[in-house]
Amino acid sequence: MNSAMNDLMADFIHEATRYAQTSSQERELMQRLSIRTHKKREVLDITEKAQKALTVETGICHLFVLHTTAALTTADLDPGTDLDMLDAFEAMMPRLRYRHPHDPEHVPDHILSSMIGTSVSIPFEHRRFVLGTWQRVILVELDGPRDRELVLSIAN
């Protein structure tokens, strides 16, 4: 019985140590970013903030927004392009009698979030995103102003 208990305790210590080491590594490869928005609808360039959070030289950065009324994508942000995008998104939404029990007025925000997407994956090298000449990583706020939370994870 004593030997069995020692074996069980050794297994427990081994697994606990392995878990602690894995958790430490995962914390380095996954983190949360907070973004404050200022308007009901707006486009925010989050490229620099996300790049500053990269913890390794090369890999794939996956960003995921933890909300159902915001979206992530990439875009050209020449002056006025953000407003053009918001106008186009607004024009895409039909005027229907929505049945959302919480607040039917913001059902279009949920639909747009699903259509645009809540995540992006971007390759990076030398802690810099590999993007096209005019390409930026953007958060599309659809029901602000709010504090938005993103999860950034890295595969390398």
pLDDT tens digits for 100-114? 777 777 888 988 999
- The vertex-64 CA angle with 22 and 48, nearest 5°, equals 95
Closest C-alpha to 86, from 136, 143, 131: 143
> Pairing between strand 147-155 and 119-125?
unpaired
pLDDT value of residue 75: 97
Helix orientation angle between 81-92 and 107-116, rounded to the nearest 10 degrees: 120
Q: How remote is the C-alpha of 113 from its chain's centroid?
A: 12
Contact 150, 70 (CB under 8 A): no
| Per-residue tokens: 59 | 């890999």
What strands, in cross-sheet order, belong to the sheet with 30-36?
A: 30-36, 147-155, 59-65, 119-125, 128-129
pLDDT digits (tens, 9 = 90+) for 36-46: 999 999 999 99
Q: Which CATH class is domain 31-155?
A: mainly beta
For residue 1, is pLDDT > 90? no
Lowest mean per-residue pLDDT among 7-11, 63-67, 87-91, 145-149: 7-11
Separation CA 36–CA 83 (nearest Å): 19
> Residue 138: pLDDT band by 50, 70, 90 thresholds?
very high
Select from 48, 117, 43 the least CA-distant residue to 80. 43
Please give the average per-residue pLDDT across 115-136, as a whole number: 97
Tokens representing 124?
A: 């990076």
- The whole-number pLDDT of residue 107 equals 85
Cα–Cα distance measured from residue 153 to residue 67, given in angstroms and rounded to the nearest whole number: 17
Domain locations in the chain as residue ranges: 31-155
